[in-house]
């Protein structure tokens, strides 16, 4: 088997000799690549190795940012003042680095005019295009038409 020592040196030795070397140094013999020809083993302190792996995983988890998605709902016939009010909310969410899902819902027979929902989403996008870019194009999902916007 190929043996990788603590200092990184490699040599090919039989298994009993590798175990003997690991025992002399009070370390573990860990099989790294069992399918290689010859199999590769490394001499290391396995407990310390696992501890360092857990520590790295926790550190990377700590640094990871959670993506928050806020949803703003509008009706297909919402008034201009109400749209402006919702646009202010969208701008605030985007300034805080959040993704925003803008949805237009259809009541009753309004679903027969999905172009009104598309116009509403285009109006909202026109008002926020200086701070946002569209991630997902408007699409109809049941009685809702929605699009996803992200900060520029």
pLDDT tens, residue by residue, 37-89: 889 999 999 999 999 999 999 988 887 777 789 999 999 888 989 999 999 99
Domain count, the chain: 2
From 38, 61, 84, give the residue that closes a domain: 61
Sheet holding 144-151, edge to edge: 69-75, 99-105, 144-151, 132-141
Q: Which of 61, 78, 110 is the last residue of a domain?
A: 61
For residues 17 and 82, membership in a common domain is answered with no
Residues 75, 35 share a domain: no
Task: Note the Cα 144 to chain centre separation in Å.
Answer: 26
Residue-level pLDDT at 63? 79
Domain boundary among 61, 85, 108: 61
Query: How many other C-beta atoms lie within 10 A of the C-beta of residue 93?
Result: 20
Q: Are residues 113 and 51 in the same domain?
A: no
pTM of the model: 0.58
Q: Using CA of residue 131, residue 133, residue 136, residue 137, what is the dihedral sign?
A: positive
Structural domain boundaries enclosing 51? 2-61
132 and 80, same structural domain? Answer: yes
d(CA 107, CA 116): 12
């Amino acid at each position: 088997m190929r043996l990788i020592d603590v200092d990184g040196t490699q040599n090919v030795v039989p298994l009993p000799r590798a175990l003997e070397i690991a025992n002399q140094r009070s370390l573990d013999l860990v099989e790294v690549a069992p399918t290689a020809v010859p199999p590769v083993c490394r001499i290391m302190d396995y407990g310390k190795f696992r501890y360092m792996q857990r520590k790295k995983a926790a550190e990377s988890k700590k640094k990871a940012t959670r993506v928050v998605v806020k949803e703003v709902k509008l009706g297909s016939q919402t008034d201009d003042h109400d749209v402006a009010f919702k646009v202010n909310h969208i701008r605030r969410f985007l300034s805080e680095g959040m993704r925003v899902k803008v949805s237009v819902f259809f009541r009753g027979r309004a679903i027969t005019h999905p172009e009104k929902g598309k116009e509403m989403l285009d109006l909202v996008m026109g008002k926020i295009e200086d701070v946002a870019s569209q991630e997902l194009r408007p699409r109809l999902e049941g009685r809702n038409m929605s699009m996803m916007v992200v900060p520029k």
